[in-house]
């Protein structure tokens, strides 16, 4: 059978998710009895708060086990609209909210709803690995605009302006950012919005899924600026802040015409999201933000601990992430060095080396668009983080040449 002919070009051109791949490799090695410290997966290590689980159990007992409306249960959409107003100064009606199987699906829905072949999507780089693949799946063209560690991984208004063409349809970014942990301030977002004011036919997808894991100034949503309101899709979800990755719930607030298009796409692919997860999410968003804050404080103390250890490793160049639970050091000082059979030519080589030599799994920066960096998640116990930092230090010290 000619499987290569049968497989679609679409799938052949798609990269496998590097984050998911590395997390699986860590699990496989652990299953073989090798103690690998997993800093690759972007997932809180906390269990979902008990009260949220209890809300799901109650929903099950009440028989909420049926299909829901495609864009989500009305009471959850109303709760999300309340949240947007309460936390983000965003005015969305329930009709402008679409709930999906994770923010991943939310973003894919928007890409499929807006893109025609050849349409350009400006993606701030470093970027989350799935963005360009989703754009390509929708036959769009990813246009990467890069910011290095020396500009705190944040692009400037001038960079944005010069990337815009008459084919640009979407600008897509996350803040707090996966993989860098950088957070765009209100002032920075206002400056980017001023550029977009000159280009009215561009939609912004603002991925705010790490909103509640923010250590700096209050989170700001670009869609709350009057000039951006009618053309911003605000993406958020429950996976990160509420430690609900397995519940698979994300959502958008969007102009009504985009929300309807997304619901149409979703209605043919997957229908409404899980019914009793939605009831738990409604409870979470209305009552459990304090639990997110407690988890955020723990992430902050882990960040400081990890940064202190990493800053003491010669050759690692680290910035101070203001949100999410990642550090994204520049490791280019090790390129050209070797140990035994390992020759380090790039960030892929270094992450393979650290997995093999230090038994620490992390993700190369290359799939995030940053060839000089590696991504490490500190959503792990203090003990494991400290142990990982020691292992990394020892393995890097062995590199010479």
Residues that bind ligand PMP (CB under 6 A): 42, 102-104, 128, 174, 178, 207, 209, 237, 239, 245, 250
Pairing of strands 363-364, 374-377: antiparallel
Binding of ligand GLU at residue 174 (CB under 6 A)? no
Pairing of strands 141-146, 168-174: unpaired
Site string for ligand GLU, 20-39 (x = CB under 6 A): x-------------------
Judged by beta carbon distances under 5 to 8 A according to partner kind, the member of ligand GLU, ligand PMP, none in contact with residue 174 is: ligand PMP
Binding of ligand GLU at residue 366 (CB under 6 A)? no
The smaller minimum CB distance to ligand PMP, of residues 275 and 277, is found at 277
Q: Is-contact 183 211, C-beta < 8 A? A: no
Distance separating alpha carbons of residues 182 and 154, to the nearest angstrom: 7
Judged by beta carbon distances under 5 to 8 A according to partner kind, the member of ligand PMP, ligand GLU, none in contact with residue 272 is: none
Binding of ligand GLU at residue 105 (CB under 6 A)? no
Sequence-distant (6+) residues with CB within 8 A of 241 are 209, 210, 211, 212, 213, 292, 295, 296
- In terms of Cα–Cα distance, which of 228, 269, 325 is closest to 108? 269
Judged by beta carbon distances under 5 to 8 A according to partner kind, the member of ligand PMP, ligand GLU, none in contact with residue 207 is: ligand PMP
Distance separating alpha carbons of residues 264 and 94, to the nearest angstrom: 16
Stretch near ligand GLU under the rule CB under 6 A, chosen from 122-130, 188-196, 297-305, 314-322: 122-130
Distance separating alpha carbons of residues 177 and 154, to the nearest angstrom: 9
Contact with ligand GLU (CB under 6 A): which of 26, 37, 42, 373? 42
Element housing 135 (H / E): helix 130-137
Least distance from ligand GLU to the Cβ atom of residue 89, Å: 26
Least distance from ligand PMP to the Cβ atom of residue 341, Å: 34
Contact with ligand GLU (CB under 6 A): which of 178, 180, 322, 380? 178
Binding of ligand GLU at residue 350 (CB under 6 A)? no
Q: Is-contact 23 41, C-beta < 8 A? A: yes
Binding of ligand GLU at residue 175 (CB under 6 A)? no
Q: Is-contact 163 137, C-beta < 8 A? A: no
Contact with ligand GLU (CB under 6 A): which of 17, 159, 185, 227? 17
Judged by beta carbon distances under 5 to 8 A according to partner kind, the member of ligand PMP, ligand GLU, none in contact with residue 209 is: ligand PMP
Interface with ligand GLU: number of residues (CB under 6 A): 10
Stretch near ligand GLU under the rule CB under 6 A, chosen from 124-132, 165-173, 229-237, 284-292: 124-132
Q: Is-contact 336 345, C-beta < 8 A? A: yes
Sequence-distant (6+) residues with CB within 8 A of 361 are 22, 23, 25, 26, 29, 36, 37, 38, 39, 40, 354, 355
Q: In this structure, what token pair is assigned to residue 199?
A: 């280009």
Sequence-distant (6+) residues with CB within 8 A of 212 are 240, 241, 242, 289, 292, 293, 295, 296
Least distance from ligand GLU to the Cβ atom of residue 248, Å: 11
- Taking CB atoms, the residue at the shortest distance from ligand GLU is 42
Site string for ligand GLU, 306-345 (x = CB under 6 A): ----------------------------------------
Judged by beta carbon distances under 5 to 8 A according to partner kind, the member of ligand PMP, ligand GLU, none in contact with residue 137 is: none
Least distance from ligand PMP to the Cβ atom of residue 91, Å: 23
Q: Is-contact 223 229, C-beta < 8 A? A: yes
Binding of ligand GLU at residue 41 (CB under 6 A)? yes
Distances in Å between the Cα of 156 and the Cα atoms of 75, 124, 150, 173, 378 are 40, 10, 12, 13, 28
Burial class (CB in 10 A: 0-12, 13-18, 19+), 308: exposed
**Interaction site with ligand GLU (CB under 6 A):** 17, 19-20, 41-43, 128-130, 178
């Amino acid at each position: 059978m000619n499987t290569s002919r049968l497989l679609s070009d679409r799938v052949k051109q798609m990269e496998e998710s590097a984050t998911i791949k590395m997390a699986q490799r860590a699990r496989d090695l652990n299953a073989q009895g090798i103690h690998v410290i997993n800093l690759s997966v972007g997932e809180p290590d906390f269990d979902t708060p008990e009260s949220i689980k209890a809300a799901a159990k109650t929903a099950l007992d009440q028989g909420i086990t049926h299909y829901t409306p495609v864009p989500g249960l009305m009471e959850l959409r109303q709760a999300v609209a309340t949240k947007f107003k309460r936390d983000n100064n965003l005015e969305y009606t329930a009709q402008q909210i679409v709930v999906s199987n994770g923010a991943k699906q939310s973003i894919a829905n928007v890409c499929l709803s807006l893109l025609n072949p050849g349409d350009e999507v400006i993606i701030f780089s470093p970027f989350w690995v799935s963005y360009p693949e989703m754009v390509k799946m929708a036959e769009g063209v990813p246009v990467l605009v890069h910011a290095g560690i020396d500009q705190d991984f944040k692009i400037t208004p001038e960079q944005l302006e010069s990337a815009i063409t008459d084919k640009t349809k979407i600008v897509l970014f996350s803040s707090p950012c996966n993989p860098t942990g950088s957070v765009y301030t209100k002032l920075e977002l206002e400056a980017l919005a001023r550029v977009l004011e000159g280009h009215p036919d561009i939609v912004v997808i603002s991925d705010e899924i790490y909103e509640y894991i923010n250590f700096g100034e209050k989170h700001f949503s670009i869609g709350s600026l009057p000039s951006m309101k009618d053309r911003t899709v605000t993406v958020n979800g429950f996976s990160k802040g509420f430690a609900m990755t397995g519940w698979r719930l994300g959502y958008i607030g969007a102009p009504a015409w985009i929300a309807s298009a997304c619901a149409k796409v979703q209605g043919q692919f997957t229908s409404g999201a899980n019914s009793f997860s939605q009831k738990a999410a409604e409870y979470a968003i209305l009552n459990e933000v304090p639990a997110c804050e407690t988890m955020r404080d723990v992430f902050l103390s882990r960040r400081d601990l990890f940064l202190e250890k990493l800053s003491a490793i010669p050759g690692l160049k680290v910035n101070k992430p203001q949100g999410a639970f990642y550090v994204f050091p520049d490791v280019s000082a090790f390129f050209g060095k070797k140990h035994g059979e390992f020759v380090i030519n790039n960030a892929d080589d270094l992450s393979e080396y650290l997995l093999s030599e230090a038994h620490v799994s992390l993700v190369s920066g290359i799939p995030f668009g940053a060839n000089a960096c590696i991504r490490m998640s500190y959503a792990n116990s203090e003990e494991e983080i400290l142990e990982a930092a020691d292992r990394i230090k020892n393995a890097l010290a062995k590199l010479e040449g």
